[in-house]
Amino acid sequence: DITIGPVAVMSALTGSVVETVHKDYPGYELHVVASALSLVSGCIVFALGMFRLGFIVEFIPLPALAAFMTGSALSIAMGQIPTLMGNNKYLDTRAPTYLVFGNFWKQISHCNLNAALGLTSLFLLYFIRFICTRAGKRFPKREKLFFFFNTLRAVFIILLYILISWLINRHDRDHPRTAILGTVPRGLQNMGVPYIDSTLLSAFASYLPLTVIVLLIEHVAIAKSFGRINNYAIDPNQEMIAIGVTNIFGPFFGAYPTTGSFSRTAIKSKAGVRTPLADVVSGSVIILGIYALTELFYWISQASLAAVIIHAVGDLIVGPTTLKSFWQVNPIEFFIFWAGVLVTIFSNIEYGIYVTIISSGALLLFRIAKARGQFVGRVIIQQVKLFADDYEHLTTRNIYVPLDHSDGSNPTIIPISPGNGIFIYRLNESFLYPNANHYIELLVEQIFRETKPGKRNPYGSLGEQPWNLKTSRHPERNQQKDDSRPCLHALILDFTGVAHLDITGLQNLVDVRRQLDRYANKKVNWHFAGLSNPWLKRALVSVGFGSSEEGHTVFSVANIHDHIDCGENDNAVVLVPILDINRPLFHADLDEAYEAAITSLPAKETAAIFNNSNA
C-alpha cells in the first residue's frame, strides 16, 4: 500500500542538517551531505529490521506521534508564510518557528505581488476541497470522480499559477516581478557512489537518532493506518527493511532520506492499486518529468508553491475531536502532546520529538513502578436470563472484586472478606524490580493493620527491638490483651495479571515471607493462583514456594472420561488434577486457593466458617 518518497517533515529535517553541516564544513557540497545522511540512516534502519528489532517502534506512543506531526506541520507552515506573502528575503526562515512568525509581522510592510498569488492559491486549494467533498456526499455514485478531482487540486493550482507567473514575468526573465523557482537541473544530476568520510559522519552524527526516528514513526504510522483499513497486520521488521533498502540505494541516484508518504499512499489506495507495479508507473512519470518538463518548472511561482506546502501539511495537524479524546482518556498524555508541540514551535523539531518520547517513557516507568495491588473479597453472583416479566436462573458462581471497589464495581455490593487471617492480594502488573517494593509495602501494611503478631513480644527484650520501632518502652504493653484481631494464617496471591517475575521481585517475595513468618511466629502458607507460564512456576519453586507441610489440601480435577477409551467399563469416572499435585499451593483459580486456605485452618475455626456460610 505504501509509496515511499520525499515527505514534508523529512525534507525540512534534511534541509536543516544540510545547512548546519555546510555552515561548519563548507567544503562538502550540499547534495553530498544529503546523500551521506540517507546512506547512513538507511543502513541503521536496515540493520534494525534484519536483527528483528521492529518492536522498538511500539515504544513510540500515539501522543508523541501526534505531537511530532502537529508540531512539524505548524513549524513547516509558519516557515512558508513569509514565502507565501513575499517578504521572506527580509527574515531568517530557518530560525525557531515563533521567531519566524513574529518577525514576519514586523516585516509585513514588505509584502508584494507574491502575496496575491500565494493567498489566492491557498484560498482555491481549500475551496476546491470543500466543493469536491460536499459534491461527493451529495452524489454518492460519482464520489470516486470527485475524489480524484480533489486529489489533483494541487496539480491544477501549480499549472494555473505557472501560466499566471509566465504571463507576469515573460518579458523580463532575468528580473522577474514575482518570485519563481528558476532553473531546475535536467535529469539525474548526482548519480554515482555516495561520498562519506569520518569528518562528514561526525558532522551529522548527532542528527542520526532524530533522522531514524522520523523515518520510522511516519512510515509505521501510515502502515498501521492502512493495515486497519484493509484488514491486515504489518510486520515492523519488514517495513524497516523496505525503508532501509530504499535509503541505501537512493543516494546512488542522488536521493536524500525518504519514507512513507500519507498523501501519495491515500491516492494509490483510492485508485484501486493492489500491487507494487503501480510504483513503476509513478517512477516512470517522475523520470519523464525531470527529463522533459524542467523548462516548465522554471516558471513555478514560489508563493503558490508555499501555498501548496501549507495546505498539504495542514492535514497533519491534530483536530479538536482527537484532542478532546486525548483529554478524556488520559489528561497526562494530553499535556505531553502539548509539551511536544510547544517545544517544537519554540525550539526545533528535534527537541520536540525527544521531549515527547522521553516524557512518555518516564510516564510508562512511573506507571510500572507505582502499580498497585488490590485486596479482594468474594462475591456470590447468579447468572439469569431476563424475560419480559420473569427471569430464569442459570448458574451460581464466585467472583473476586476489590474490597475498596477501586475497579469501579457497584459500591452497594459488599464483598465477603476472607477474614480469619487469610488475605487475597491481586497483582495487576508484572512483578518486576521497579514495582516489587511498592507492591510489598502495600501488602505488609495491610496485614500488620488487620492482624496481631503471633507472639505478644516478638523481640524478647527492649534491647533486641529496632531502635526506630514505634512501641512502648515496656514490651508487655506493646500488645493489648483484648486484641480481637486474628493471627496471620495464609496469603493468597492472584498472579493472573503477572506475565513476568524477575530476580529482584522474587527476592522481595522471599524477604517478606521470612518477615511474615517471624511476625506470625509460624510458617505462613503462600498460595498462588493464575500462574500463566511455566517460568513463573519454575522461579517460585526454586526458592521454596508451592510446597506445603500440610497433609491435605484442595485440588481442581477434571473428568476426562469423554476423551479416552475406558474399554468395558464405559461408565467409569476418570478424574485427573489440572495442576501438579506435588505443588499443592499452586492453584487453578482463586476459589480453589481460598478453599485450600480454609481447609488448613484449625478445625474449630473451619467449622465456624462453614456454619456462617450455610447461614
To the question of pTM greater than 0.85 for the whole model, the response is: no
Higher pLDDT, 149 or 243: 243
Q: What is the DSSP letter of 40?
A: H
Identify the pLDDT of residue 567: 58
| Nearest to 217, CA basis, from 97, 343, 356 | 356
Identify the pLDDT of residue 510: 94
DSSP letters, 194-231, are PP--HHHHHHHGGGHHHHHHHHHHHHHHHHHHHHHHHT
Contact 90, 110 (CB under 8 A): yes
Look up residue 109 and give its three cell numbers: 510592510
Q: In this structure, which amino acid lies at residue 152?
A: L
Q: How confident is the model at residue 470 (pLDDT cuts 50, 70, 90)?
A: low
Q: Which residues pair with 529 in a beta bridge?
A: 494, 587
State the alpha helices, DSSP H only, in 318-374.
Answer: 320-329, 331-346, 349-369
Identify the pLDDT of residue 126: 92
Rounded to the nearest integer, the mean pLDDT of the chain is: 85
Q: Is residue 475 predicted with pLDDT exceeding 50?
A: no
Digit-coded pLDDT (tens) for 517-547? 988 988 999 999 999 888 999 999 999 998 8
Identify the pLDDT of residue 65: 81
> Mean pLDDT across the stretch 492-514?
93
From edge to edge, which strands make up the β-sheet containing 374-386?
391-402, 374-386, 422-426, 490-494, 525-529, 586-587
Cα distance between residue 208 and residue 459, in whole Å: 61
Q: Is residue 281 predicted with pLDDT exceeding 60?
A: yes
Secondary structure element (H or E) that encloses residue 490, with its range: strand 490-494
Digit-coded pLDDT (tens) for 423-446? 999 998 899 999 999 899 999 999
Cα distance between residue 230 and residue 221, in whole Å: 14
Q: How confident is the model at residue 615 (pLDDT cuts 50, 70, 90)?
A: very low
Question: 319-331 burial, b if ≥16 CB within 10 A, otherwise e?
Answer: eeeeeeebeeeee
Q: Is 17 helix (H, G, I), strand (E, B) or coil?
A: helix
| Nearest to 66, CA basis, from 260, 322, 347 | 322
> Mean pLDDT across the stretch 4-31?
90
List of domains in the chain: 3-368 (no CATH), 405-461+485-548+574-613 (3.30.750.24)
Q: Is residue 174 predicted with pLDDT exceeding 90?
A: no
Digit-coded pLDDT (tens) for 37-84? 999 999 999 999 999 998 888 888 888 888 888 888 888 888 888 888
Q: Is residue 93 predicted with pLDDT exceeding 80?
A: no
Return all residues near 420 (Cβ < 8 A) that are at least 6 apart: 486, 489, 598, 601, 605, 609
Q: Is residue 294 predicted with pLDDT exceeding 80?
A: yes
| Nearest to 270, CA basis, from 226, 232, 303 | 226
Q: CA end-to-end span of the chain, whole Å?
A: 66
Cα distance between residue 76 and residue 481, in whole Å: 76
Question: 218-245 burial, b if ≥16 CB within 10 A, otherwise e?
Answer: bbbbbbebbeeeeeeebebbebbbbbbe
Q: Widest CA span of the chain, in angstroms?
A: 110
Q: In this structure, which amino acid lies at residue 298?
A: Y
Q: What is the DSSP letter of 88?
A: G
Look up residue 480 and give its three cell numbers: 493489648
Cα distance between residue 459 and residue 475, in whole Å: 8
Cα distance between residue 245 and residue 45, in whole Å: 9
Between 208-217, 329-338, 347-356, the lowest mean confidence (pLDDT) is in 347-356
Q: Is residue 147 predicted with pLDDT exceeding 60?
A: yes
